Structure 1
Amino acid sequence: MAATLQHDSMIGPPAPELTIVSRADVASASTQSLEAVHARRARWMTLLALAVTDFVAFGSVLGILDLAAYAVAPAYASTVWSAAALLPVILIAFVFLGLYHHTRMHPADEMRMASQVTVTIGLTAAIAVYVGGGNSIVAMTMVAAALLGAVVVPLCRGFFRVICARAEWWGQPAVVIGEKEEALTVTDTLKRWPEIGLRPVALLTDRPVDTPIWSGPSGTALHVAANHDIPYAIVVEPNLDAEEHDHLVARYSKFFDNVLVVPDVKKGAAALWRTGRSHQGLVGYGVSHYELQVGARFAKRIIDMIGALLLTIVSFPLLLTIAVLIKIDSPGGVFYSQNRMGRQGRCFSVLKFRTMHVDADAILADLLDKDPTLRAEYEQFHKLQEDPRVTRIGRVLRRYSLDELPQLFNVIAGDMSLVGPRAYMPRELPKMKNLARIVLQTPPGITGLWQVSGRNALSFERRVDLDVHYFKNWSPWLDLYLLIRTVPVVLSGEGAS
């Protein structure tokens, strides 16, 4: 790549015809204008879908308030719809703040901003109405709409991202350019997290690579951009100095509308969706350690308590049904407890539904002694893909993470959180190396970044990296987003074993 940088006018040999691969990896022939058409259609489809989502969200807020007013004070029910005046103001604010642009913003940041804008505009309008001598009931209605909208609007947007990100029309096409391993990591991240809004259609690297999308040498990048009108280039070059970096951006900017440079990618990186920002004139990214703030920890605890209690009440019939099925399926108790490490390394007993036979430890020891291949698999993943210890009902429970439901009682007791790092066993501490001191600063979670990024298909090292990444980037909105994203992962059984 360095040699290419010295000759901006050298584009290289003509690029082969680019095949655009859908999310289902079904190849279809590309015409010169296909990506341009797709990009325009994606923009309009996304804009329309986002607008519909916001209208549904605000309509739901007004509907809930209307029902509440009829139940509590029917005489004032007609004033509820006065809060509809807030809708155009909020939507205009969303437009100016870039909330109708489906890239460059992490979904958790989008949810936070949508909530803050809704509250700010709603409360400001309520104060203006009250101070201006208007109807106090109307002012109170606007306050209620703002507070309820601060929850409903980001929730709707979060579900929108998770659901629509799998649609064929979602995402702007992007070319990933750079060193093989790093470029593959970025491509994998974009595919795993389509909510980011960039759809990789080509991977350009000077080393042979096995990938379902079109690949070729980096020298063909400009031909690909010119012939297929692809708006985004993601350049992964970890070994460039400042001058080379500037030349690189200038060179690709002539052909791509947007050039995103990833300066460094750790192999197997958890995700590449930190929010880039400038601090005091210094270019970089910020890490906000909310988890270290007393107020944030208190808020997280309150949310955990309310959420766990509600989920326990709602899922009680399911809990009872599972308990009966376990007793029928195999001899032994219904629950299984195991010693795990919590916040600051304090050990506690994590509670699960029993999914293995009662003599599971003896079965495992005998199995690993007889089969070196299975021993290697267990040492890498701390799991077995085809585990003979697991009961029939246990396989179903594990596939859909139903065995984790009793951990709601651990959340209520304060040992765990709804969202957090994996609950590690004490014997795993040496394998966590020095990263344990980071991971163990927060309570483990029933779900987390590791849960929605591959679950048991991930190696132990990768799980630890994910948990470190979660801690560095934690916010209440990230927790809410991960809870939303957990739903389709669990229902699909993705990464389960």
Structure 2
Amino acid sequence: MQLNRTLQPALSALSISTRSSPTFIFMVMADLVGLSLSGVISVYIRQVFFEEQFNPLLYWQLAPVLGLFVVAYAVVGLYPGVAISPIDELRWTSLSTTLIYFVLTATLLFRREGEVYDRGVFLLAWILSIVLVLISRALVRSMFARRRWWGYPVILLGAGKTGEMVIHTLHQRPSIGLKPVLVLDDDPEKHGWLEGVPVVGGVALAPELARRRHIPYAIVAMPGVPRDRLLSLLERYATAFPHLLIIPDLFEFSSLWVSAKDMGGVLGLEVRQRLLLPGPG
């Protein structure tokens, strides 16, 4: 009963939708628009600038293939497109799009329909698909990222300076798609408000809040806590949230070229200086 009374202020402070379906739907629509435009433009260019006999209706029959792109994007984690870096989005969009076009072309050749379809159309559509999908996604984010229903709500564990910087960053960059809705901290003196987000109680409330409001993300922003305490927090709350992000002491370090590495069970952060690499790395 005491826990329920403690949770009431936290639950009443939640003012952002905890449903991710609108974000998912709009990102799928953005991809379909980008893919459709790439096909239409490719067929139109082939029809207008080349005088040979050409039947565009053959290509409209391939419209159901758009569903394969959506499935491929979902498999590589491009939906709902939240908390994904531009580099990863470019990489996975390029790889999955290329794979689908390769499978489509190989299937048509295997069925001996390759001579019916123009390979130049597929080549141009492949290039345009990657470009237009990324542009469509960027436009959708710019239009809707500041809406209350966009993205995922996130609980922040830690109301110190690092937590404040995390909230400030997420507010300044809504395209990331993580909306801080609550902050939890064991220090009663920090309860109140942090960058416009309510600090409502201790971190022990996190699992119950996650369960009641289906909040999938939590950010641990306590880089100064002892190692044993941090490990205890991770073990306790890792099962409560599908996504648990940890902000290290290197918070202000640029993360664009930083990637996680598993070194025999030890987590490491690799910083790649791309200009010093002989090739793509």
TM-score class, shorter: 0.7 to 0.9
Q: Given the superposition, is the C-alpha separation of residues 272 and 179 from structure 1 closer, same or farther in structure 2, using an over 3 Å criterion?
A: farther
Amino acid at match of 1:99: L
Contact 1:11 1:219 in 2 (8 A): no
User: What is the aligned partner in structure 2 of residue 68 from structure 1?
Assistant: 45
Determine if the alignment matches structure 1 residue 164 to structure 2 residue 144.
Answer: yes
Larger Rg: 1
Determine if the alignment matches structure 1 residue 18 to structure 2 residue 10.
Answer: yes
What are the residue-to-residue correspondences of 1:125-274 with 2, within 5 Å?
125-130=104-109, 132-136=111-115, 138=117, 140=119, 141-178=121-158, 180-205=160-185, 206=187, 207-208=189-190, 210-219=194-203, 221-222=205-206, 224-225=209-210, 228-253=213-238, 255-266=240-251, 269=252
What are the residue-to-residue correspondences of 1:443-458 with 2, within 5 Å?
none
Q: Secondary structure at the match of 1:98?
A: coil
Determine if the alignment matches structure 1 residue 111 to structure 2 residue 103.
Answer: no
Q: Using the alignment, how far apart are the partners of 2:168 and 2:37 within structure 1?
A: 36
Q: Using the alignment, how far apart are the partners of 2:142 and 2:161 within structure 1?
A: 27
Q: Given the superposition, is the C-alpha separation of residues 17 and 66 from structure 1 closer, same or farther in structure 2, using an over 3 Å criterion?
A: same
CA RMSD of aligned residues (A): 3.3
Contact 2:155 2:183 in 1 (8 A): yes
Stretch deviating more after TM superposition (254-263 or 67-76):
254-263
Amino acid at match of 1:259: L
Q: Using the alignment, how far apart are the partners of 1:139 and 1:127 within structure 2?
A: 13
Q: How many residues align?
A: 271
Q: Secondary structure at the match of 2:215?
A: coil
Contact 2:168 2:195 in 1 (8 A): no
Q: Deviation at 1:197?
A: 1.9
What are the residue-to-residue correspondences of 1:451-470 with 2, within 5 Å?
none
Cα deviation digits, residues 295-341 of structure 1 (max 9, x gap): 67xxxxxxxxxxxxxxxxxxxxxxxxxxxxxxxxxxxxxxxxxxxxx
Q: Given the superposition, is the C-alpha separation of residues 16 and 173 from structure 1 closer, same or farther in structure 2, using an over 3 Å criterion?
A: same
User: What is the aligned partner in structure 1 of residue 269 from structure 2?
Assistant: 285
Q: Secondary structure at the match of 2:249?
A: coil
Contact 2:162 2:221 in 1 (8 A): yes
Q: Using the alignment, how far apart are the partners of 2:210 and 2:159 within structure 1?
A: 19
- Give the unaligned 5+ runs of structure 2: none
Identity %: 23
Q: Using the alignment, how far apart are the partners of 1:275 and 1:197 within structure 2?
A: 20
- Give the unaligned 5+ runs of structure 1: 1-9, 20-28, 297-474, 476-497
Contact 1:65 1:80 in 2 (8 A): no
Q: Given the superposition, is the C-alpha separation of residues 185 and 146 from structure 1 closer, same or farther in structure 2, using an over 3 Å criterion?
A: same
Q: Secondary structure at the match of 1:239?
A: coil
Q: Deviation at 1:129?
A: 2.8
Q: Using the alignment, how far apart are the partners of 2:7 and 2:96 within structure 1?
A: 46
Q: Deviation at 1:241?
A: 5.0
Q: Deviation at 1:120?
A: 2.5
